[in-house]
Amino acid sequence: MAEQYHAAARTYRDGGYFDEVVKVITQHGDAIDSDLLQRLTMVAQMYYFKVCPSVGPPPNISHSLYVAFEHQVST
């Protein structure tokens, strides 16, 4: 089952479907390898930070993750 989540998240990432990446991360993150989960989270954060810096992340992305990434980039 975990491999299905890995494959789905990678496919969404490769296709640029970051809303779906975040959905898989938030709903099934405990079943995803921690290294892959960290990479997927970072890529999604970079995407949302670049695309909507003044608006912020969409409602389905963790606000705390977005703020942590914003802090990392600004320092």
| Residue 65 Ramachandran class (φ > 0 left, ψ -120 to 50 alpha, else beta) | alpha
**pTM to 2 decimal places:** 0.64
DSSP 16-62: T-HHHHHHHHHHHGGGS-HHHHHHHHHHHHHHHHHH-TTT-S-TTS-
The DSSP call for residue 75 is -
Q: How confident is the model at residue 73 (pLDDT cuts 50, 70, 90)?
A: very low
Q: What is the per-residue pLDDT across 20-71, written as a single tens digit (0 to 9) for each?
A: 888 888 888 888 888 888 888 888 878 877 776 665 555 555 555 555 545 4
Taking the domains of the chain in order of start, what are their residue ranges?
A: 2-74
